[in-house]
């Protein structure tokens, strides 16, 4: 059975320079440890808010066999927020529903969710999802959004992923069960 591989990329100039501890990448992996019953391998990277460096790290993780890449940070309206652009630079397909769903989830918590520019995309057999930068928001998004991720990964050629039903139930059509 193929091992599910996940890459987490924190996009932050200050975390990259060591001015503060990266909390986003560990929040992603912590959520996955609670939310998945399937075993998985993961790696966390921190990159600065540089479009070409973000894109290069995404490509590197795709080429290394990651089935899922979750980025955190760089999705707002500030001039240096370029994670969505970097993601789309290297994507084969955009999945607009991911961004729409993430903004809808966040709007339950904060009115500024309308400023978010997260995207979901596919490169080869890798799903790439841009999450918000705050650990609390990462959990809020994944609690709701992750139900669609296992089936998406299967559709693009990845392994079957089982979830912890106490955290999230993976949706699969009856024909896929």
Give the mean pLDDT of 59-86: 97
Give the mean pLDDT of 162-168: 97
CATH number for position 20: 3.40.980.10
Each residue's pLDDT tens digit, 87-122: 999 999 999 999 999 999 999 999 999 999 999 999
pLDDT at 1 over 80: no
Cα–Cα distance for residue pair 3/36, rounded to 1 Å: 13
Domain that holds residue 122: 4-176
pLDDT at 138 over 90: yes
Query: Using 50, 70 and 90 to split pLDDT, how confident is the model at 5?
Result: very high
Number of domains in the chain: 1
DSSP one-letter string for 122-162? EETTEEEEEE-SSHHHHHHHHHHHGGGHHHHHHHTT-----
Cα–Cα distance for residue pair 83/50, rounded to 1 Å: 8
pTM of full prediction above 0.95? yes
pLDDT at 151 over 90: yes
């Amino acid at each position: 059975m193929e091992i599910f591989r996940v890459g987490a990329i924190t996009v932050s100039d200050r975390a990259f320079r060591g001015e503060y501890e990266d909390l986003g990448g560990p929040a992603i992996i912590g959520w996955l440890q609670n939310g998945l019953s399937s075993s998985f391998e993961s790696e966390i990277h921190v990159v600065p808010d540089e479009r070409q460096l973000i894109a290069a790290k995404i490509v590197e993780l795709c080429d290394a066999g990651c089935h899922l890449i979750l980025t955190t940070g760089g999705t707002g309206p500030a001039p240096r927020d370029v994670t969505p652009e970097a993601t789309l630079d290297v994507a084969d397909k955009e999945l607009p529903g991911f961004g729409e769903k993430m903004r809808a989830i966040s709007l339950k918590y904060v009115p500024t969710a309308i400023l978010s520019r997260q995207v979901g995309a596919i490169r080869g057999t890798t799903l790439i999802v841009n999450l918000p930068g705050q650990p609390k928001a990462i959990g809020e998004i994944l609690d709701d959004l992750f139900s669609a991720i296992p089936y998406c990964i299967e559709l693009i050629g990845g392994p079957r992923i089982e979830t912890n039903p106490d955290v999230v139930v993976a949706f699969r059509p009856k024909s896929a069960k």
